[in-house]
Structure 1
Amino acid sequence: MYGPAATGDAPLAPLWRLDAGRTLFIGTLDHNAFHQHGAPVFLSSLGGPFGLRLEGGPWRACEAAMIPAGRLHELHLGGDPLAVFYVEPDVAGAGELAPLLRDAEEAEGALVGRSSVIPLMRQLYEDRASLAWAEDALDDLVAYARPRARRGIDPRASRAVAALAAASEEGVSVPELARLCGLSPSRLQHLFASEIGVPIRRYRAWSRMRGAIAEIVGGASFTQAAHAAGFADQAHFAHDFRRTFGAAASRSLRGVRR
């Protein structure tokens, strides 16, 4: 047990927990139109099944899914809570999230099955003080999954991701990344897209989005967060958020717990 159960009848605020290599969201969602992420994502219900549709496939009801970076998908929750856990590629590849599913089967390039972490995700969501112990819980989750992973990613791609994460606001150029990884620029671009699932430019956009979310979770307004993360304005941030998550930013970022 990481923490006590929730008390009281007030609505539960959305939970966000971000660190250098991981992003966790748990909260209620309705319908998220087709969207794609710059990092692999693990989805877990907190009880019953949710609706998932992958590009080119039918709607299916599932309890959990692991979706690689860059894979278009659509969600239907009908107001139920969902746990959404992203792990950056320099921390773990998509294969390292696979052990969080049970009875998994492949479906249109993703994995769907049963969730092995429903009790933990429910505890994180229902304990109003869970931010105090969420980091330890996520450490344990990754430590459990990593030894059981199907495969990692090429260390050169992982090195490029780490360099992008550590870069200043001006960023690091593709030729600089290529030199760091001992590759030509064209070979790095090919390797990065193959291993990470999205091109370098798309991963940069994902990193910028994570930066804006971190600012809002830390107490900044949407406008302040947009400027701090390098968006031209709040409208640009709102547009990119909807493209990245398939729903308006206000649905999951208003009234977050702190």
Structure 2
Amino acid sequence: MMGKAKVPAWSGAVTLQPGCLVFSGAVGTTELHAHAAMQVMVVTAGEVQLRDGHGQRRSTRMALIPSRALHAIHGPEATAVFMYCDPDSPLACGLRARIVGEDQDHVDGWIAAAQSSPPVRQEARQRLTGDQDPYAWLADPRAGLSCHPAVRRAMDHTQRLLGGPVRLQDLAVVVGLSASRLGHLFAEELGLPFPVYLRWARLRRAMELVQEGTSLTKAAHGAGFADSSHLTRVFHEMFGLAPSTVLRSIRWAAPESDGRLA
């Protein structure tokens, strides 16, 4: 009797950069998920299969996956670099402009956007040739655009409040706008509603705490989640995996650049 086929496991290094989270290593399998980040995928060996929310599947070595795009990943015997660019980073703003309309929801659009994007192609060349400065292209001032000043102030204030409640109404008072206007600006500038941005910001903070050696439970509370179960649900929503699965197989790596991703 044949046993179950082995499910490809994730293993590799995770780097928390200002403005970007980077995974580099062996690619496993995820369930359907949608994160708040703009994801750049560059496969360095083999091919990765992407599935969109419409059930379309494609094998590729390069993709640009937009914020909130429903997708799943399967990468048997593949290695890759995944760059999750924070939705408020200049880089994400620039990449978001490269994929619009219906292409945002379809795997063919993600692949085409990557192939036509000079920054993604440059990243692929540097990764495949072992360039010693793999983030050099991110220093290009043309890589992205600045967010609306009110949105930037609201995000800066949010970072100081992540350990507790964060309400859009309170942020609106701080920046001198109505809550409805500030919510509209978040959707317009970042391409996602404020609650989604907030969940991503909390998730980032929790990962920073875990990297520093904090337990998952304490990291959840430190990032403003109700408990570790709440953190697990959001992590699964954003990455299609349980955090415990990832923590067993990844190592934390030191940043490779001087913060130019911000």
- The answer as to whether partners of 1:51 and 1:59 remain within 8 angstroms in 2 is yes
Superposed counterparts of 1:204-219, under 5 Å: 204-219=198-213
- What is the CA-CA distance between 1:155 and the residue it aligns to? 4.2
CA–CA distance in structure 1, aligned partners of residues 29 and 235 of structure 2: 14
Partner of 2:190: 196
Instruction: From the superposition, tell whether residues 55 and 123 of structure 1 become closer, same or farther in structure 2 (CA, over 3 Å).
Output: same
Query: Structure 1: how far apart are the matches of 2:123 and 2:88?
Result: 23
State the match for 1:241 in structure 2: 235
Identify the residue that residue 92 of structure 1 maps to in structure 2.
Answer: 90
Give, as a single letter, the amino acid of the residue that structure 2 aligns with 1:80. Answer: A
CA contact (8 A) 2:29 2:73 kept: yes
Alignment of 1:12-31 (within 5 A): 14-31=12-29
Q: 1:70 matched to which residue of 2?
A: 68
Q: Distance in 2 between matches of 1:229 and 1:170?
A: 7
Counterparts in 2 of 1:213 and 1:177: CA distance versus 1, 3 Å: same
User: Is the alpha carbon distance of 1:84 and 1:176 closer, same or farther for their aligned partners in structure 2, counting shifts above 3 Å?
Assistant: same
Which ranges of structure 1 fall in alignment gaps of 5 or more residues?
1-11, 125-132
Alignment of 1:143-222 (within 5 A): 143-144=139-140, 146-149=141-144, 153-167=147-161, 169-222=163-216
Q: Give the alignment partner of residue 118 of structure 1, picking from 118, 124, 127.
A: 124
**In the alignment, residue 40 of structure 2 is paired with which amino acid?**
F
| C-alpha distance in 1 between matches for 2:239 and 2:228 | 16
Residue-by-residue CA offset, 1:1-56 (whole Å, 9 max, x unaligned): xxxxxxxxxxx952111144221112323221211112222121113331112223
Shift of 1:181: 4.0
Contact kept? 1:98, 1:111, Cα under 8 Å: no
Q: Distance in 1 between matches of 2:153 and 2:88?
A: 7
Of 158-167 and 195-204, the range deviating more from structure 2: 158-167
The CA distance in 1 between the partners of 2:95 and 2:89, in whole Å, is 11
Q: Which amino acid aligns with 1:17?
A: T
Question: Partners in 2 of 1:90 and 1:22 — Cα distance?
Answer: 10
TM-score by length of 1: 0.74
214-223 or 110-119, larger mean C-alpha shift: 110-119
What is residue 9 of structure 1 aligned with on the other side? Answer: none
- Aligned pair partner of 2:30 in 26, 29, 32: 32
Give the 3 Å change call, closer, same or farther, for CA 170–250 of structure 1 in structure 2: closer
User: How many pairs does the alignment contain?
Assistant: 232
Cα gap change, 1:215 to 1:169, in 2 (>3 Å): closer
Distance 1:120 1:171 in 2: 42
Give 4+ residue runs of structure 1 displaced > 6 Å after superposition: 104-107
Q: In structure 2, give the amino acid aligned to 1:116.
A: Q
Q: Which amino acid aligns with 1:143?
A: A
- Unaligned 5+ residue runs, structure 2? 1-9, 116-120, 253-262
Which deviations, in whole Å up to 9, do the C-alpha atoms of 1:58-106 show, x marking residues without a partner? 212222222222221221112522322122233215342379x9xx998
How far apart, CA to CA, are the structure 2 residues paired with 1:198 and 1:148? 20
Q: Which residue is 2:260 aligned to?
A: none
Provide the secondary structure at the position in 1 that maps to 2:45.
coil
Q: Identify if the C-alpha distance between structure 1 residues 239 and 167 changes in structure 2 by more than 3 Å, giving closer, same or farther.
A: closer
Pick one of 212, 220, 225 that aligns with 1:226: 220
Q: Deviation of residue 173 (structure 1)?
A: 2.9
